[in-house]
């Protein structure tokens, strides 16, 4: 069965350099630097990545960072809390626009 997403494609991520090696190199170098231990720990960065992966709804990223979070020492409770943070921001971002709706309604109403 053909599908748009194939789990095996995650392993081929590096092959995007085939059509544009210079930009791919810049991207992967940057990516590697971003996830190094810094002002934030590698474990914290992995939890942020997991939350963002759910926000951008990328199945490759969800697989990769579910594994990575476990290998960085996070537990299931922490991982689910990270996803709730993503969900809260997503839900909140819709709801805070409710103010815009209210503004417009009040503008149009007597």
Partner 1 sequence: MKSLQADRHHLSNTFTQLEVLNSADERVTALPRFKEKLLSAGLFPLKAIRVDTLQVNLGKMCNQTCKHCHVDAGPDRKEIMTLEVMQHCLNALANSDIATVDLTGGAPEMNPNFRWFVEEVCKLGKRIIVRCNLTIIVANKKYHDLPFFFKDHKIEVVSSLPYFTSQKTDAQRGSGVFDDSIKALKLLNDVGYGKEGSGLILNLVYNPSGAFLPPSQAGLQADFKRELKRRFEIEFNELFAITNLPISRFLDYLIASGNYDAYMEKLVNSFNRHAAQNVMCRSMISVGWDGFLYDCDFNQMLDLKINSGRPDHIAFFDPDKLSDREIIINQHCFGCTAGAGSSCGGELT
Task: Note the residues at the interface with partner 1 (CB under 8 A).
Answer: 11, 41-43, 67, 70-73, 75
Residue 12 C-beta: closest distance to partner 1, Å: 13
41 or 93, CB closer to partner 1? 41
Residue with smaller CB distance to partner 1, 55 or 72: 72
The 3-state DSSP class for residue 33 equals: helix
Other CB atoms within a 10 A radius of the CB of residue 49 amount to: 19
C-alpha neighbours within 13 Å on the C-beta side of residue 53: 21
- Distances from the Cα of 109 to the Cα of 96, 102, 103, 104, angstroms: 20, 10, 10, 9
Nearer to partner 1, 29 or 71 (CB): 71
Smallest gap from residue 70 Cβ to partner 1 (A) = 5
């Amino acid at each position: 069965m053909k599908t748009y997403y194939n789990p095996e494609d995650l392993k081929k991520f590096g092959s995007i350099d085939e059509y544009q090696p210079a930009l791919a190199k810049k991207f992967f170098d940057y990516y590697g630097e971003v996830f190094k231990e810094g002002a934030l720990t590698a474990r914290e960065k992995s939890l942020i990545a997991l939350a963002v992966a759910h926000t951008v709804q990328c199945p490759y990223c969800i697989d990769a960072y579910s594994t990575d979070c476990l290998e960085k020492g996070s537990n299931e409770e922490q991982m689910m809390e990270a996803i709730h943070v993503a969900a809260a921001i997503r839900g909140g971002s819709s709801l805070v626009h409710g103010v815009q709706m209210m503004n417009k309604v009040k503008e149009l109403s007597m």
